[in-house]
């Protein structure tokens, strides 16, 4: 699972991201390139367009929904079968992270310092199962907040 979250667990606002951190977008690109991505229909619709070099597997309950470039699935099992690869990136949003929390192996977290206003929150993960294995801090610069890249793995 790949997520950028503020200290108050905010991940989204008004259907989009509450911040713009180009270095984090670059990292997201590097982490996902060539891999199937699973996402919710709302996150798919929030993207600026199809992300090149990656499959977009989109969860919806709406049997009539379709979009160019989206591989539509109706449940978590189907999403993983459709992906058909050992390494799959789950890219949100909150509803989809909640579902995958129990089956994911790793969380690539961008932890943004400070609280941020928003309307979509990352579900809590159980600290007994998730272990932090690395952390790299990036200092604040200009109007960009400080943040850390944190890797968590499920024990």
Residue 13 gets which letter from DSSP? Answer: B
Give dist(CA 95, CA 141) in Å, integer: 32
Length of the chain: 155
Supply the minimum distance, in Å, between the C-beta of residue 32 and ligand NAP.
12
Distance, in Å, from the CA atom of 57 to the CA atom of 44, rounded to the nearest integer, reads 9
CB of 83 to ligand NAP, least distance (A): 15
x/- mask, ligand NAP, residues 12-51, rule CB under 6 A, reads x--xxx---------------------xxxxx--x-----
Give yes or no for a contact between 53 and 33, defined as CB atoms under 8 angstroms apart.
yes
Say whether the peptide bond before residue 93 is cis (omega within 30 degrees of 0): yes
Taking the least distance from each CB to ligand NAP, the nearer of 106 and 128 is 106
CA dist 56 and 61 (Å) reads: 16
Task: Establish if 94 lies at the interface with ligand NAP (CB under 6 A).
Answer: yes
Stretch that binds ligand NAP, among 49-57, 90-98, 125-133, 137-145 (CB under 6 A): 90-98
Positions that interact with ligand NAP (CB under 6 A): 3-4, 11-12, 15-17, 39-43, 46, 59-62, 65, 74-75, 91-96, 99, 120
């Amino acid at each position: 699972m790949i997520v950028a979250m503020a200290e108050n667990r905010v991940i989204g606002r008004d259907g989009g991201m509450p911040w713009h951190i180009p270095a984090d977008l670059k990292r997201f690109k590097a982490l996902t390139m060539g891999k199937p991505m699973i996402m919710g229909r709302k996150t798919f619709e929030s993207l600026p367009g199809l992300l090149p070099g990656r499959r977009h597997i989109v969860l919806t309950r709406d049997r009539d929904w379709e979009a160019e470039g989206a591989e539509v699935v109706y449940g978590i099992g189907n999403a993983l079968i459709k992906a058909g690869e050992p390494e799959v990136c789950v890219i949100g949003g909150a509803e989809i992270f909640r579902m995958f929390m129990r089956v994911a192996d790793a969380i690539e977290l961008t932890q943004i310092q400070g609280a941020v206003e928003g309307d979509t929150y990352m579900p809590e993960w159980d600290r007994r199962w998730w272990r932090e294995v690395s952390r790299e801090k990036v200092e604040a610069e200009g109007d960009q907040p400080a943040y850390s890249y944190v890797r968590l793995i499920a024990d």
